[in-house]
A and B are shown apart, each in its own frame.
Chain A
């Protein structure tokens, strides 16, 4: 008996649900041999706006979770990816390259999440401080998440690059709206399915697919995004820097022309967590 093929509709993960673009537009994705693979949602600035609203809703609850609980959830996300590693490897192979390289990227992605899961209840000890002051006060510096972070993923290393930028931001209680790779969006679509089963509250990570040209100007100007982290080319850098200056947001850009080696040691660091933290210093009188 022949069976009708069951093809999958790729959907993006926003606000804890799987959606298609509000514009109803899609763009075709082809595999490495040039065969049609699927229609990917072509998200718009309105989808970005909706994603930011979702992130704003999820933010306070996520930031209030204990650091230990955030660590557990990041670790569980690692578990979810580990279990579906084969599927993610296939997704990465849509963009060509060797199977061993794709498998290595998936393994590195899991390891990256475990790395940040470890940091979740420890970065505060390292970055926070009791400052010496010449008066009868305790003077503390503590960290706080910034809020909603815009992430622009690299075109190459569409999974590892994305996770390397998203994970440090959510480790400290930020929420993220991320634009996935345009040329290789499918790993991000699969990642959304894993986020949904990882106990991560809906809206903490929102993944959009679409065209960089259409989305980046809105990332730049949206005033509710508190920081932008991304791998961008010279033109995009300029757009983002101008918009970020208007809306006073922090930026951390990696050059698309010479992207970082995501497998190398410096690609994961405490510095990456610090990039999306605010520091608050408090004076408190010393009791008798």
Chain B
């Protein structure tokens, strides 16, 4: 007879997927910041990071005009043509058709849309699925969904997986990104367990994603590492390559390079491209472009030389 409490459910899941050495993870990621990346490798890393950005605007005040300028920025982040376009733009479902109108159908920049009552996910499943279908119908190439954290924390793992499966079905051909919202999962063990629940449902090439960017704690090197290791273990078990997207809190080029180091040292070169790894961010793009210009000209650049600089001084 199985114990029915949430604690027992978690215990069984942890026993099955393995737990995380909290201190070990923190130690490991602290070392990533010490790698010395110079010259050509740095330039390669910065450009690769640009090509991995999901340029994001998720605000109540978003307008079609703002989304249009975001799309232009995604296509051509700076006037230097050697800087690649970003992987995607990430917008709310109501903005998808405006983004599609600007980008057209023949474009390298994909359109991602957060659906499923983002960021809380607190809407009836029927509503969430309808939102996903609407976003896909409007032209979204990728859907970012949030998992049902309430069900997860109550130990109702089958419910979590059923909902992911239902959203997956609603996505059709669109790529699915499953947001775990790590800040609400409390522990590394729970992040690893949630990663496995999601990965067992989604397809090769779909993503697991750290967070919505709407809570206090977003992507950190620590939870990124836990999820990368879950992806590695899942890949070694099943041969299915799941992609990864840290989101929120990555603001500087240096941070982005450190995340790429984590990817390279955990998953290898196969994950160092924008079909397997993305950054959910917006302000980091300017800093990446700024550092690329610094590498090319040798002169430190003022932030106001780049469009939409956060600082104005």
Contacts and interface: CB of A to CB of B under 8 A. Distances in A.
A218 B300 contact: yes
B300 A223 contact: yes
Name the residue in A218, A221, A243 with the highest tally of chain B Cβ atoms < 10 Å from its Cβ. Answer: A221
A63 B300 CA distance: 23
Given A52-B300, A221-B299, 14 more contacts: A45-B300, A49-B300, A56-B303, A56-B313, A59-B313, A63-B313, A147-B313, A221-B298, A222-B299, A223-B305, A224-B300, A224-B301, A224-B302, A246-B299
A56 B300 contact: no
A56 B311 contact: yes
B107 interface: no
Given A56-B313, A60-B313, A147-B313, A223 B302 contact: yes
B172 to A, nearest CB: 46
A222 B300 contact: yes
B312 interface: yes
Contacts of B305: 223
Interface string A62-104: 0100000000000000000000000000000000000000000
Closest 10 CB pairs of A and B: A221-B299, A224-B302, A59-B313, A222-B300, A223-B302, A60-B313, A49-B300, A223-B301, A56-B313, A223-B299
Contacts of B303: 56, 224
A247 interface: yes
Interface residues of A, number: 18
B313 A247 contact: no
Interface of A: 45, 49, 52, 56-57, 59-60, 63, 147-148, 218, 221-224, 243, 246-247
A65 to B, nearest CB: 14
Contacts of A60: 312-313
B313 A221 contact: no
Nearest to A55: B313
13 contacts: A45-B300, A52-B300, A56-B303, A60-B312, A221-B297, A221-B299, A223-B299, A223-B301, A224-B301, A224-B303, A243-B299, A246-B299, A247-B299
Interface string B31-55: 0000000000000000000000000
Contacts of B311: 56-57
Grouping DSSP codes into helix (H, G, I), strand (E, B) and loop, the B interface class, with mixed when no group exceeds half, is: loop
Nearest to B301: A223
Nearest to B294: A49
A253 to B, nearest CB: 20
Contacts of B302: 223-224
B37 to A, nearest CB: 14
B201 to A, nearest CB: 44
Contacts of A224: 300-303
A63 B312 CA distance: 13
A45 B294 CA distance: 13
Interface string B283-311: 00000000000000111111101000001
B59 to A, nearest CB: 23
Contacts of A63: 313
A59 B313 CA distance: 7
A243 B298 CA distance: 11
Contacts of B299: 221-223, 243, 246-247
Contacts of A59: 313
Contacts of A147: 313
A49 B294 CA distance: 11
A221 B300 CA distance: 7
A243 B297 CA distance: 12
Nearest to B305: A223
A20 B183 CA distance: 35
Nearest to A60: B313
Nearest to B313: A59
A218 B297 CA distance: 12
A148 B301 CA distance: 13
Contacts of A243: 299
Contacts of B297: 221
B64 to A, nearest CB: 31
Contacts of B298: 221
A139 to B, nearest CB: 26
Nearest to A59: B313
A224 B313 CA distance: 9
A72 to B, nearest CB: 23
Contacts of B301: 223-224
A223 B297 CA distance: 11
